[in-house]
Structure 1
Amino acid sequence: MDLELDALSVVTDGRALVRDLSLQVADGQVVGLVGPNGSGKSTALRCVYRALRPTSGVVRVGGDDLSRLTMRQSSRAVAALTQDGTVDLDFTVEEVVALGRTPHLRGNQPLGRRERELCERAMRRMDVHHLARRGVLTLSGGERQRVLVARAMVQEPRVLVLDEPTNHLDIRHQVELLSLLRGSGLTVLVVLHDLNLAAAACDRLAVLSQGRLVATGTPKDILTAELVREVFGVDADVVPHPLTGDPQLLYSLSPSPSPAPPNGRAASCP
Protein backbone atom coordinates (compact mmCIF):
# COMPACT_ATOMS: atom_id res chain seq x y z
CA MET A 1 0.00 0.00 0.00
CA ASP A 2 1.55 3.28 -1.08
CA LEU A 3 1.75 6.42 1.06
CA GLU A 4 1.59 9.94 -0.36
CA LEU A 5 2.08 13.32 1.27
CA ASP A 6 0.66 15.86 -1.17
CA ALA A 7 1.58 19.53 -0.67
CA LEU A 8 1.48 19.11 3.12
CA SER A 9 1.85 22.25 5.25
CA VAL A 10 1.53 22.75 8.98
CA VAL A 11 1.37 26.28 10.40
CA THR A 12 1.03 27.04 14.11
CA ASP A 13 1.17 30.41 15.86
CA GLY A 14 2.09 31.99 12.54
CA ARG A 15 5.11 29.72 12.08
CA ALA A 16 5.34 27.18 9.28
CA LEU A 17 6.64 23.89 10.70
CA VAL A 18 6.20 22.03 7.40
CA ARG A 19 6.05 23.84 4.06
CA ASP A 20 4.43 22.34 0.97
CA LEU A 21 5.89 18.87 1.52
CA SER A 22 5.23 16.36 -1.27
CA LEU A 23 6.62 12.87 -0.86
CA GLN A 24 5.69 9.43 -2.15
CA VAL A 25 6.54 6.12 -0.50
CA ALA A 26 5.88 3.21 -2.84
CA ASP A 27 4.34 -0.06 -1.69
CA GLY A 28 6.91 -2.05 0.28
CA GLN A 29 9.52 0.72 0.22
CA VAL A 30 11.47 2.01 3.22
CA VAL A 31 11.94 5.78 3.10
CA GLY A 32 13.92 7.66 5.73
CA LEU A 33 13.19 11.21 6.80
CA VAL A 34 16.41 12.90 7.85
CA GLY A 35 17.33 16.44 8.79
CA PRO A 36 18.42 18.62 11.71
CA ASN A 37 16.39 19.07 14.87
CA GLY A 38 13.36 21.24 14.23
CA SER A 39 13.28 20.59 10.49
CA GLY A 40 9.69 19.25 10.51
CA LYS A 41 10.26 15.49 10.45
CA SER A 42 8.16 14.58 13.48
CA THR A 43 5.47 17.09 12.51
CA ALA A 44 5.10 15.43 9.11
CA LEU A 45 4.83 11.99 10.73
CA ARG A 46 2.15 13.22 13.14
CA CYS A 47 0.01 14.11 10.14
CA VAL A 48 0.38 10.55 8.83
CA TYR A 49 -0.81 8.88 12.04
CA ARG A 50 -3.47 11.57 12.55
CA ALA A 51 -2.17 13.07 15.77
CA LEU A 52 -2.07 16.41 13.92
CA ARG A 53 -4.31 17.87 11.25
CA PRO A 54 -2.36 19.55 8.43
CA THR A 55 -3.12 23.19 7.70
CA SER A 56 -3.24 22.32 4.02
CA GLY A 57 -2.47 19.38 1.80
CA VAL A 58 -3.50 15.72 1.93
CA VAL A 59 -2.13 12.44 3.23
CA ARG A 60 -3.20 9.48 1.09
CA VAL A 61 -2.88 5.80 1.93
CA GLY A 62 -3.54 3.43 -0.94
CA GLY A 63 -5.00 6.39 -2.83
CA ASP A 64 -7.54 7.18 -0.09
CA ASP A 65 -7.58 10.54 1.67
CA LEU A 66 -6.66 9.58 5.24
CA SER A 67 -8.87 12.28 6.73
CA ARG A 68 -11.96 10.69 5.14
CA LEU A 69 -11.38 7.32 6.81
CA THR A 70 -12.74 6.42 10.23
CA MET A 71 -10.18 6.13 13.00
CA ARG A 72 -10.69 2.36 13.03
CA GLN A 73 -10.08 2.17 9.27
CA SER A 74 -6.96 4.31 9.42
CA SER A 75 -5.64 2.38 12.45
CA ARG A 76 -5.95 -0.85 10.49
CA ALA A 77 -3.92 0.67 7.65
CA VAL A 78 -1.32 2.70 9.56
CA ALA A 79 0.60 1.86 12.73
CA ALA A 80 2.92 4.30 14.45
CA LEU A 81 5.80 4.24 16.88
CA THR A 82 6.04 7.78 18.18
CA GLN A 83 9.06 9.58 19.55
CA ASP A 84 7.40 10.03 22.93
CA GLY A 85 5.60 6.70 23.03
CA THR A 86 5.03 5.79 26.65
CA VAL A 87 2.96 3.41 28.72
CA ASP A 88 1.93 5.11 31.97
CA LEU A 89 0.07 2.17 33.51
CA ASP A 90 1.93 -0.90 34.69
CA PHE A 91 0.47 -3.33 32.17
CA THR A 92 2.42 -6.47 31.49
CA VAL A 93 4.40 -6.74 28.28
CA GLU A 94 1.94 -9.21 26.78
CA GLU A 95 -0.97 -6.89 27.65
CA VAL A 96 0.70 -3.93 25.94
CA VAL A 97 1.50 -5.95 22.82
CA ALA A 98 -2.08 -7.23 22.69
CA LEU A 99 -3.33 -3.62 22.50
CA GLY A 100 -2.13 -3.66 18.91
CA ARG A 101 -5.15 -5.82 18.06
CA THR A 102 -7.64 -3.18 19.27
CA PRO A 103 -8.53 -1.84 15.77
CA HIS A 104 -9.48 -5.38 14.73
CA LEU A 105 -11.66 -6.29 17.72
CA ARG A 106 -15.11 -5.18 18.79
CA GLY A 107 -15.70 -3.88 22.30
CA ASN A 108 -14.36 -6.27 24.93
CA GLN A 109 -13.97 -9.13 22.47
CA PRO A 110 -11.25 -11.45 23.84
CA LEU A 111 -8.19 -12.44 21.89
CA GLY A 112 -8.65 -15.53 19.80
CA ARG A 113 -6.06 -18.15 18.97
CA ARG A 114 -4.80 -16.23 15.94
CA GLU A 115 -4.41 -13.02 17.96
CA ARG A 116 -2.44 -14.81 20.67
CA GLU A 117 -0.17 -16.36 18.04
CA LEU A 118 0.42 -12.95 16.44
CA CYS A 119 1.39 -11.49 19.82
CA GLU A 120 3.73 -14.37 20.61
CA ARG A 121 5.39 -14.11 17.21
CA ALA A 122 5.86 -10.34 17.52
CA MET A 123 7.35 -10.64 21.00
CA ARG A 124 9.81 -13.25 19.77
CA ARG A 125 10.79 -11.15 16.75
CA MET A 126 11.49 -8.19 19.03
CA ASP A 127 13.27 -10.32 21.64
CA VAL A 128 10.84 -9.51 24.46
CA HIS A 129 8.98 -12.83 24.75
CA HIS A 130 10.94 -13.66 27.92
CA LEU A 131 9.56 -10.45 29.46
CA ALA A 132 5.92 -11.26 28.71
CA ARG A 133 4.78 -11.31 32.37
CA ARG A 134 6.90 -8.34 33.42
CA GLY A 135 5.31 -4.95 34.06
CA VAL A 136 6.41 -2.44 31.40
CA LEU A 137 7.30 0.15 34.05
CA THR A 138 10.03 -2.20 35.32
CA LEU A 139 11.73 -2.34 31.91
CA SER A 140 14.67 -0.38 30.60
CA GLY A 141 14.08 2.25 27.92
CA GLY A 142 15.39 -0.08 25.22
CA GLU A 143 13.24 -3.00 26.34
CA ARG A 144 10.16 -0.79 26.42
CA GLN A 145 10.93 0.50 22.94
CA ARG A 146 11.03 -3.05 21.60
CA VAL A 147 7.69 -3.80 23.28
CA LEU A 148 6.11 -0.83 21.50
CA VAL A 149 7.49 -1.98 18.15
CA ALA A 150 5.98 -5.42 18.80
CA ARG A 151 2.64 -3.75 19.53
CA ALA A 152 2.80 -1.89 16.21
CA MET A 153 3.62 -5.09 14.31
CA VAL A 154 0.69 -6.94 15.93
CA GLN A 155 -1.58 -4.26 14.49
CA GLU A 156 -0.90 -5.82 11.06
CA PRO A 157 -0.64 -2.46 9.31
CA ARG A 158 0.12 -1.94 5.65
CA VAL A 159 1.97 1.29 6.43
CA LEU A 160 4.34 1.73 9.37
CA VAL A 161 5.62 5.11 10.54
CA LEU A 162 8.35 5.32 13.16
CA ASP A 163 9.86 8.38 14.81
CA GLU A 164 13.45 7.71 15.91
CA PRO A 165 12.79 4.01 16.64
CA THR A 166 16.44 3.29 17.48
CA ASN A 167 16.36 5.61 20.52
CA HIS A 168 17.43 3.73 23.67
CA LEU A 169 18.37 0.61 21.71
CA ASP A 170 21.82 -0.95 21.92
CA ILE A 171 23.62 -1.51 18.64
CA ARG A 172 22.52 -5.14 18.32
CA HIS A 173 18.85 -4.26 18.64
CA GLN A 174 19.24 -1.23 16.37
CA VAL A 175 20.57 -3.48 13.61
CA GLU A 176 17.92 -6.15 14.25
CA LEU A 177 15.08 -3.62 14.18
CA LEU A 178 16.22 -2.00 10.94
CA SER A 179 16.77 -5.42 9.38
CA LEU A 180 13.21 -6.30 10.38
CA LEU A 181 11.90 -3.16 8.67
CA ARG A 182 13.86 -3.98 5.52
CA GLY A 183 12.40 -7.45 5.33
CA SER A 184 8.87 -6.70 6.53
CA GLY A 185 7.33 -5.99 3.12
CA LEU A 186 5.53 -3.02 4.69
CA THR A 187 5.52 0.52 3.42
CA VAL A 188 7.73 2.30 5.94
CA LEU A 189 8.36 5.97 6.66
CA VAL A 190 10.96 6.35 9.40
CA VAL A 191 12.74 9.27 11.04
CA LEU A 192 16.40 8.50 11.75
CA HIS A 193 19.21 10.68 13.04
CA ASP A 194 22.03 8.21 12.41
CA LEU A 195 22.79 8.80 8.73
CA ASN A 196 24.90 5.66 8.46
CA LEU A 197 22.04 3.49 9.69
CA ALA A 198 19.66 5.39 7.41
CA ALA A 199 21.90 4.66 4.43
CA ALA A 200 21.94 0.96 5.26
CA ALA A 201 18.24 0.57 6.03
CA CYS A 202 16.43 2.83 3.57
CA ASP A 203 15.65 2.52 -0.12
CA ARG A 204 15.33 6.30 -0.37
CA LEU A 205 15.99 9.31 1.83
CA ALA A 206 14.07 12.57 2.06
CA VAL A 207 16.06 15.45 3.55
CA LEU A 208 14.17 18.21 5.37
CA SER A 209 15.53 21.59 6.41
CA GLN A 210 13.46 24.35 8.00
CA GLY A 211 10.26 22.54 7.08
CA ARG A 212 11.09 22.13 3.40
CA LEU A 213 12.09 19.13 1.35
CA VAL A 214 15.54 19.96 0.00
CA ALA A 215 16.56 16.63 -1.52
CA THR A 216 15.18 13.16 -2.15
CA GLY A 217 16.71 10.09 -3.75
CA THR A 218 18.75 7.00 -2.99
CA PRO A 219 21.23 7.19 -0.09
CA LYS A 220 24.10 6.96 -2.57
CA ASP A 221 22.79 9.96 -4.48
CA ILE A 222 21.76 12.02 -1.48
CA LEU A 223 24.48 11.56 1.11
CA THR A 224 27.27 13.76 -0.20
CA ALA A 225 29.79 15.79 1.77
CA GLU A 226 28.31 18.95 0.28
CA LEU A 227 24.74 18.20 1.39
CA VAL A 228 25.82 17.14 4.88
CA ARG A 229 27.78 20.38 5.25
CA GLU A 230 24.96 22.55 3.93
CA VAL A 231 22.06 20.93 5.82
CA PHE A 232 23.67 19.65 9.02
CA GLY A 233 26.58 22.08 9.34
CA VAL A 234 29.26 19.42 9.80
CA ASP A 235 32.17 18.20 7.72
CA ALA A 236 32.21 14.54 6.77
CA ASP A 237 34.05 12.30 4.37
CA VAL A 238 31.68 9.94 2.55
CA VAL A 239 33.11 6.51 1.80
CA PRO A 240 31.50 3.28 0.48
CA HIS A 241 30.86 0.49 2.94
CA PRO A 242 33.42 -2.24 2.16
CA LEU A 243 30.75 -4.98 2.01
CA THR A 244 27.56 -3.31 0.77
CA GLY A 245 28.78 -0.18 -1.00
CA ASP A 246 26.31 1.93 1.03
CA PRO A 247 27.61 5.43 1.76
CA GLN A 248 29.13 5.80 5.20
CA LEU A 249 29.99 9.13 6.83
CA LEU A 250 33.23 9.74 8.68
CA TYR A 251 32.80 12.90 10.73
CA SER A 252 35.30 15.57 11.63
CA LEU A 253 35.08 17.31 14.99
CA SER A 254 36.30 20.60 13.55
CA PRO A 255 33.52 23.21 13.34
CA SER A 256 31.78 24.00 10.06
CA PRO A 257 29.76 27.03 9.03
CA SER A 258 26.11 27.07 10.06
CA PRO A 259 23.77 25.48 7.51
CA ALA A 260 22.59 27.88 4.84
CA PRO A 261 18.83 28.42 4.54
CA PRO A 262 17.20 26.37 1.78
CA ASN A 263 16.50 28.09 -1.51
CA GLY A 264 12.88 26.93 -1.39
CA ARG A 265 13.20 24.40 -4.21
CA ALA A 266 13.40 20.68 -3.68
CA ALA A 267 16.25 18.95 -5.47
CA SER A 268 15.28 15.54 -6.77
CA CYS A 269 17.71 12.79 -7.60
CA PRO A 270 16.73 9.78 -9.67
Structure 2
Amino acid sequence: MRLRLDRLGVEIDGRALVRDLDLDVDSGRITGLVGPNGSGKSTALRCVYRALRPTTGTVRLDDRELPALPRREAARAVAALTQENGSELDFTVAEIVALGRTPHLRGNQAPSRRERELCRRAMADLDVLHLADRGVLTLSGGERQRVLAARALVQEPAVLVLDEPTNHLDIRHQIELLALLRRTGTTVLIVLHDLNLAAAVCDRIGVLAGGALVASGTPADVLTPELVRTVFGVAATVVPHPLTGDPQLLYSLEGHA
Protein backbone atom coordinates (compact mmCIF):
# COMPACT_ATOMS: atom_id res chain seq x y z
CA MET A 1 0.00 0.00 0.00
CA ARG A 2 1.31 3.42 -0.96
CA LEU A 3 1.30 6.23 1.60
CA ARG A 4 1.27 9.87 0.61
CA LEU A 5 1.52 13.01 2.71
CA ASP A 6 -0.25 15.50 0.45
CA ARG A 7 0.58 19.16 1.09
CA LEU A 8 0.36 18.46 4.80
CA GLY A 9 0.29 21.40 7.18
CA VAL A 10 -0.09 21.55 10.97
CA GLU A 11 -0.57 24.79 12.90
CA ILE A 12 -0.98 24.87 16.68
CA ASP A 13 -1.48 28.06 18.71
CA GLY A 14 -0.60 30.14 15.67
CA ARG A 15 2.70 28.34 15.08
CA ALA A 16 3.31 26.30 11.92
CA LEU A 17 4.86 22.99 12.99
CA VAL A 18 4.63 21.38 9.54
CA ARG A 19 4.41 23.39 6.33
CA ASP A 20 3.19 22.17 2.94
CA LEU A 21 4.76 18.72 3.25
CA ASP A 22 4.66 16.50 0.18
CA LEU A 23 6.14 13.04 0.69
CA ASP A 24 5.57 9.72 -1.05
CA VAL A 25 6.23 6.42 0.75
CA ASP A 26 6.28 3.72 -1.90
CA SER A 27 4.59 0.39 -1.30
CA GLY A 28 6.87 -2.13 0.40
CA ARG A 29 9.65 0.43 0.85
CA ILE A 30 11.21 2.08 3.91
CA THR A 31 11.18 5.87 3.93
CA GLY A 32 12.93 7.78 6.69
CA LEU A 33 12.31 11.24 8.10
CA VAL A 34 15.33 12.96 9.60
CA GLY A 35 15.96 16.46 10.88
CA PRO A 36 16.93 18.46 13.95
CA ASN A 37 14.83 18.52 17.10
CA GLY A 38 11.65 20.48 16.53
CA SER A 39 11.72 20.13 12.75
CA GLY A 40 8.24 18.57 12.57
CA LYS A 41 9.05 14.87 12.17
CA SER A 42 6.93 13.50 15.02
CA THR A 43 4.13 15.94 14.24
CA ALA A 44 3.94 14.65 10.68
CA LEU A 45 3.84 11.06 11.94
CA ARG A 46 1.00 11.88 14.36
CA CYS A 47 -1.10 12.84 11.35
CA VAL A 48 -0.43 9.44 9.79
CA TYR A 49 -1.52 7.42 12.82
CA ARG A 50 -4.43 9.81 13.39
CA ALA A 51 -3.38 11.21 16.75
CA LEU A 52 -3.50 14.66 15.15
CA ARG A 53 -5.67 16.13 12.41
CA PRO A 54 -3.74 18.25 9.91
CA THR A 55 -4.68 21.89 9.52
CA THR A 56 -4.23 21.70 5.75
CA GLY A 57 -3.66 18.89 3.29
CA THR A 58 -4.25 15.23 3.99
CA VAL A 59 -2.76 11.75 4.29
CA ARG A 60 -3.63 9.22 1.59
CA LEU A 61 -3.48 5.45 1.53
CA ASP A 62 -3.36 4.63 -2.17
CA ASP A 63 -6.18 6.85 -3.46
CA ARG A 64 -8.17 7.05 -0.20
CA GLU A 65 -7.97 9.81 2.40
CA LEU A 66 -6.90 8.28 5.71
CA PRO A 67 -8.90 10.69 7.93
CA ALA A 68 -12.10 9.59 6.15
CA LEU A 69 -11.64 5.88 6.86
CA PRO A 70 -13.62 4.25 9.69
CA ARG A 71 -11.42 3.86 12.77
CA ARG A 72 -11.36 0.06 12.68
CA GLU A 73 -10.40 0.01 9.01
CA ALA A 74 -7.70 2.62 9.61
CA ALA A 75 -6.38 0.60 12.58
CA ARG A 76 -6.11 -2.48 10.39
CA ALA A 77 -4.23 -0.49 7.74
CA VAL A 78 -1.81 1.53 9.90
CA ALA A 79 0.13 0.45 13.00
CA ALA A 80 2.33 2.80 14.99
CA LEU A 81 5.21 2.58 17.42
CA THR A 82 5.28 6.02 18.99
CA GLN A 83 7.28 7.83 21.64
CA GLU A 84 4.18 8.09 23.88
CA ASN A 85 3.74 4.41 24.65
CA GLY A 86 3.68 4.44 28.43
CA SER A 87 1.25 2.22 30.32
CA GLU A 88 0.22 2.27 33.94
CA LEU A 89 -1.47 -1.14 33.63
CA ASP A 90 0.70 -4.12 34.43
CA PHE A 91 -0.40 -6.42 31.63
CA THR A 92 1.86 -9.32 30.81
CA VAL A 93 4.06 -9.13 27.75
CA ALA A 94 1.89 -11.73 26.00
CA GLU A 95 -1.25 -9.70 26.72
CA ILE A 96 0.32 -6.48 25.41
CA VAL A 97 1.43 -8.15 22.17
CA ALA A 98 -1.99 -9.77 21.69
CA LEU A 99 -3.59 -6.30 21.81
CA GLY A 100 -2.18 -5.82 18.32
CA ARG A 101 -4.90 -8.16 17.04
CA THR A 102 -7.71 -6.00 18.48
CA PRO A 103 -8.61 -4.27 15.15
CA HIS A 104 -9.16 -7.70 13.60
CA LEU A 105 -11.40 -9.13 16.34
CA ARG A 106 -15.06 -8.50 17.13
CA GLY A 107 -16.35 -8.07 20.66
CA ASN A 108 -15.00 -10.78 22.97
CA GLN A 109 -13.86 -12.97 20.08
CA ALA A 110 -10.89 -15.10 21.15
CA PRO A 111 -7.71 -15.08 19.07
CA SER A 112 -7.45 -18.00 16.65
CA ARG A 113 -4.63 -20.54 16.62
CA ARG A 114 -3.06 -18.63 13.74
CA GLU A 115 -3.20 -15.38 15.71
CA ARG A 116 -1.64 -16.98 18.78
CA GLU A 117 1.16 -18.31 16.59
CA LEU A 118 1.56 -14.86 15.01
CA CYS A 119 2.04 -13.37 18.49
CA ARG A 120 4.50 -16.09 19.48
CA ARG A 121 6.54 -15.56 16.33
CA ALA A 122 6.62 -11.77 16.77
CA MET A 123 7.80 -12.14 20.37
CA ALA A 124 10.52 -14.54 19.20
CA ASP A 125 11.60 -12.17 16.41
CA LEU A 126 11.86 -9.29 18.89
CA ASP A 127 13.63 -11.42 21.52
CA VAL A 128 10.89 -11.08 24.16
CA LEU A 129 9.35 -14.55 24.05
CA HIS A 130 11.17 -15.47 27.27
CA LEU A 131 9.41 -12.49 28.90
CA ALA A 132 5.89 -13.55 27.85
CA ASP A 133 4.59 -14.00 31.41
CA ARG A 134 6.36 -10.98 32.89
CA GLY A 135 4.45 -7.83 33.79
CA VAL A 136 5.31 -5.07 31.34
CA LEU A 137 5.98 -2.60 34.19
CA THR A 138 8.83 -4.80 35.41
CA LEU A 139 10.72 -4.48 32.11
CA SER A 140 13.59 -2.23 31.19
CA GLY A 141 13.01 0.56 28.66
CA GLY A 142 14.61 -1.46 25.88
CA GLU A 143 12.61 -4.59 26.68
CA ARG A 144 9.38 -2.63 26.72
CA GLN A 145 10.26 -1.02 23.39
CA ARG A 146 10.70 -4.46 21.81
CA VAL A 147 7.38 -5.63 23.25
CA LEU A 148 5.60 -2.65 21.69
CA ALA A 149 7.32 -3.30 18.36
CA ALA A 150 6.01 -6.88 18.49
CA ARG A 151 2.51 -5.56 19.17
CA ALA A 152 2.71 -3.32 16.09
CA LEU A 153 3.90 -6.19 13.90
CA VAL A 154 1.13 -8.61 14.91
CA GLN A 155 -1.37 -5.99 13.78
CA GLU A 156 -0.28 -7.01 10.24
CA PRO A 157 -0.63 -3.45 8.94
CA ALA A 158 -0.21 -2.37 5.36
CA VAL A 159 1.68 0.67 6.68
CA LEU A 160 3.96 0.74 9.72
CA VAL A 161 4.85 4.08 11.32
CA LEU A 162 7.75 4.22 13.78
CA ASP A 163 8.91 7.24 15.75
CA GLU A 164 12.47 6.69 17.01
CA PRO A 165 12.02 2.92 17.44
CA THR A 166 15.68 2.37 18.33
CA ASN A 167 15.44 4.54 21.46
CA HIS A 168 16.47 2.54 24.54
CA LEU A 169 17.73 -0.38 22.42
CA ASP A 170 21.27 -1.69 22.63
CA ILE A 171 23.18 -1.96 19.36
CA ARG A 172 22.33 -5.65 18.82
CA HIS A 173 18.59 -5.06 19.15
CA GLN A 174 18.76 -1.90 17.02
CA ILE A 175 20.25 -3.90 14.16
CA GLU A 176 17.86 -6.82 14.63
CA LEU A 177 14.79 -4.56 14.62
CA LEU A 178 15.87 -2.68 11.49
CA ALA A 179 16.76 -5.95 9.72
CA LEU A 180 13.31 -7.29 10.64
CA LEU A 181 11.67 -4.23 9.07
CA ARG A 182 13.56 -5.01 5.88
CA ARG A 183 12.26 -8.58 5.84
CA THR A 184 8.58 -7.77 6.42
CA GLY A 185 8.07 -6.06 3.06
CA THR A 186 5.68 -3.63 4.76
CA THR A 187 5.40 0.00 3.74
CA VAL A 188 7.35 1.81 6.48
CA LEU A 189 7.65 5.47 7.48
CA ILE A 190 10.28 5.85 10.20
CA VAL A 191 11.80 8.74 12.13
CA LEU A 192 15.44 8.25 13.10
CA HIS A 193 17.96 10.60 14.70
CA ASP A 194 20.94 8.42 13.80
CA LEU A 195 21.77 9.33 10.21
CA ASN A 196 23.98 6.28 9.77
CA LEU A 197 21.15 3.96 10.77
CA ALA A 198 18.84 5.85 8.42
CA ALA A 199 21.32 5.40 5.58
CA ALA A 200 21.57 1.68 6.29
CA VAL A 201 17.86 0.86 6.48
CA CYS A 202 16.00 3.43 4.35
CA ASP A 203 15.32 3.25 0.63
CA ARG A 204 14.59 6.98 0.61
CA ILE A 205 15.04 9.79 3.12
CA GLY A 206 13.16 13.04 3.59
CA VAL A 207 14.93 15.82 5.48
CA LEU A 208 12.84 18.29 7.49
CA ALA A 209 13.95 21.67 8.80
CA GLY A 210 11.63 24.25 10.31
CA GLY A 211 8.63 22.10 9.45
CA ALA A 212 9.40 22.00 5.74
CA LEU A 213 10.88 19.35 3.48
CA VAL A 214 14.29 20.58 2.34
CA ALA A 215 15.57 17.43 0.60
CA SER A 216 14.27 14.04 -0.50
CA GLY A 217 15.91 11.14 -2.27
CA THR A 218 18.12 8.13 -1.74
CA PRO A 219 20.50 8.21 1.23
CA ALA A 220 23.45 8.76 -1.14
CA ASP A 221 21.70 11.71 -2.78
CA VAL A 222 20.54 13.34 0.45
CA LEU A 223 23.24 12.74 3.07
CA THR A 224 25.93 15.06 1.75
CA PRO A 225 28.41 17.09 3.82
CA GLU A 226 26.77 20.29 2.58
CA LEU A 227 23.27 19.26 3.69
CA VAL A 228 24.46 17.97 7.07
CA ARG A 229 26.29 21.25 7.68
CA THR A 230 23.32 23.39 6.61
CA VAL A 231 20.55 21.44 8.36
CA PHE A 232 22.27 19.98 11.42
CA GLY A 233 25.03 22.54 11.94
CA VAL A 234 27.89 20.04 12.08
CA ALA A 235 30.76 19.11 9.80
CA ALA A 236 30.80 15.56 8.52
CA THR A 237 32.81 13.45 6.12
CA VAL A 238 30.79 10.94 4.10
CA VAL A 239 32.42 7.60 3.30
CA PRO A 240 31.02 4.38 1.80
CA HIS A 241 30.40 1.50 4.20
CA PRO A 242 33.11 -1.08 3.45
CA LEU A 243 30.57 -3.94 3.19
CA THR A 244 27.35 -2.41 1.86
CA GLY A 245 28.49 0.80 0.17
CA ASP A 246 25.85 2.78 2.10
CA PRO A 247 26.91 6.31 2.95
CA GLN A 248 28.28 6.65 6.49
CA LEU A 249 28.94 9.94 8.23
CA LEU A 250 32.05 10.61 10.28
CA TYR A 251 31.68 13.60 12.57
CA SER A 252 34.38 15.85 13.95
CA LEU A 253 34.13 17.17 17.50
CA GLU A 254 35.96 20.22 16.26
CA GLY A 255 33.64 20.74 13.30
CA HIS A 256 30.77 23.11 14.00
CA ALA A 257 29.28 24.92 11.04
Tell me the CA shift for residue 64 of structure 1: 0.8
1:86 deviates by: 1.6
Q: 1 CA distance for matches of 2:186 and 2:111?
A: 24
- Look up the match of 2:191: 191
Give the corresponding residue for 1:133. Answer: 133
Shift of 1:63: 1.6
Question: Given the alignment of the two structures, is residue 252 of structure 1 paired with residue 252 of structure 2, yes or no?
Answer: yes
2:90 aligned partner: 90
The match for 1:235 is 235
- The answer for the alignment partner of 2:154 in structure 1 is 154
Deviations 1:162-186 (A, max 9, x none): 0000000000000000011111100
Find the residue that maps to 2:24 and give its secondary structure. Answer: strand
RMSD: 0.7
Paired letter, 2:79: A
Instruction: Name the structure 1 match of 2:182.
Output: 182
For 2:91 and 2:72, how far apart are their aligned partners in 1?
23
Q: Distance in 1 between matches of 2:53 and 2:181?
A: 27
In the alignment, the residues of structure 2 paired with residue 114 and residue 245 of structure 1 have an alpha-carbon distance, to the nearest angstrom, of 39
SS at match of 2:89: coil
For residues 181 and 4 of structure 2, the distance between their equivalents in structure 1, rounded to whole angstroms, comes to 19
The one-letter code sitting in structure 2 at the alignment partner of 1:80 is A
**Shift of residue 39, structure 1, vs aligned partner:** 0.1
Q: Which residue type is aligned with residue 32 of structure 2? A: G
- Asked if the contact 2:34/2:208 (under 8 Å) is kept, the reply is yes
Gaps of 5+ in 1: 258-270
Query: Which residue identity does 1:241 align to in structure 2?
Result: H
Instruction: Show the 5 A alignment for 1:2-41.
Output: 2-41=2-41
Shift of 1:88: 1.7
Query: Aligned equivalents of 2:63 and 2:131: distance in 1?
Result: 39
> How many pairs does the alignment contain?
257
Per-residue deviation at 1:254? 1.7
Distance 1:62 1:37 in 2: 30
- One-letter amino acid of the structure 2 residue matched with residue 205 of structure 1: I
* CA deviation after TM superposition for structure 1 residue 62, in Å: 2.2
Q: Deviations over 1:56-78 (max 9, x none)?
A: 10100122100110110000000
- Aligned amino acid, residue 26 of structure 1: D
Residue of structure 2 equivalent to 1:70: 70
CA distance in 2, matches of 1:183, 1:220: 22
Q: Distance in 1 between matches of 2:153 and 2:86?
A: 17
Partner of 2:256, secondary structure, is coil
Structure 1 residue 87: Cα displacement = 2.1
Q: Secondary structure at the match of 1:193?
A: coil
Q: Which amino acid aligns with 1:53?
A: R
Instruction: Supply the AA of the counterpart residue of 1:245.
Output: G
Asked whether 1:210 is paired with 2:217, we answer no
Corresponding residue for residue 111 of structure 2: 111
1:264 aligned residue: none
Q: Is the 8 A contact 2:78 2:159 kept in 1?
A: yes
Alpha-carbon distance, 1:109 to partner: 1.2
Q: For 2:234, what is the secondary structure of its paired residue?
A: coil
Equivalent-residue separation in structure 2 for 1:28 and 1:160 (angstroms) = 10
Give the Cα–Cα distance (whole angstroms) in 2 for the partners of residues 62 and 133 of structure 1: 39
SS in 2 for 1:235: strand
- TM-score under structure 1 length normalisation: 0.94
| Regions of 4+ moved over 4 Å | none
Question: What CA distance in whole angstroms lies between the structure 2 residues aligned with 1:220 and 1:255?
Answer: 21
Give the deviation of 1:111 after TM superposition.
1.3
Q: Deviations over 1:185-241 (max 9, x none)?
A: 000000000000100000000000000000000001111100000000001111110
How far residue 255 of structure 1 moved from its aligned partner, in angstroms, is 4.8
Amino acid at match of 1:11: E
Identity of aligned residues (%): 73
Distance 1:147 1:61 in 2: 27
